[in-house]
A = this chain, B = another copy of it.
Amino acid sequence: MKFSRLIEQLTERLRILPSVGPKSAQRMALHILERDREGALALATAIVEACENVGHCSQCRNFTEQTICDICSSDRRNRQVVCVVESPADVLAIEQSASFDGVYFVLMGRLSPIEGITAHDIGLPLLETRLASGDVSEVILATNPTVEGEATAHYIADRASKHGVEVTRIAQGVPLGGELEYIDSGTLMHAFSGRRKVGTS
């Protein structure tokens, strides 16, 4: 025995959400029906509105419902410095750290021969057009410190230097609040090789 058809359908479709298995989907479906049908209908509207109207910024590829996103169209951002990240969540994290006042380029992925993701899929032709325009003085590579993120950074660095643009990579080392004994050896290796002189007055 299962639930009625519409509840089964709802449960199954909730599973498109990340890390929602059969049991949580069931719990979500029953919760919606028992407690908050109004909120659920508002959620359905929000899903439709977002899916139908959110596109990509024509300059940085980040999500936006406008042609050009708020950051790319802002007067207060330095357009000469472009930070390349893998996903919109990365932009949010960097913005929250308030450590950067340039603009972004969002790959919406990373190079991955295994998954068949090519330079074209992550918008590199668009990035190259920007680099070739001569308006960019520095590219900061902030892809994830994973194998694929590193490979992507390497590839972009290669292309950017061909256009005479300075290329930098965000520093890798021990994270704040981390305890050395629990940090993996790859990170420690980077932390040592990237060590900096301590200024003495």
Contacts and interface: CB of A to CB of B under 8 A. Distances in A.
Interface stretch (A8-16, A116-124, A159-167, A191-199): A8-16
A50 B33 contact: yes
Given A6-B49, A70-B4, A87-B34, A13 B43 contact: yes
Q: Taking the full assembly, how many copies of this chain does it contain?
A: 2
A39 interface: yes
A42 B191 CA distance: 47
A27 B71 contact: no
Interface string A1-45: 111111101101110111100001011111111101101111111
A39 B54 contact: no
A28 B17 contact: yes
Nearest to A88: B30
A146 interface: no
A30 B89 contact: yes
A65 interface: yes
Interface residues of A, number: 57
Interface in A67-103: 69-71, 87-89, 92, 95-96
Given A39-B16, A43-B47, A47-B40, A87 B54 contact: no
Contacts of A49: 6, 9-10
15 contacts: A3-B88, A6-B53, A9-B46, A10-B47, A12-B46, A13-B42, A14-B46, A16-B40, A17-B28, A17-B31, A26-B89, A30-B88, A30-B89, A33-B51, A40-B47
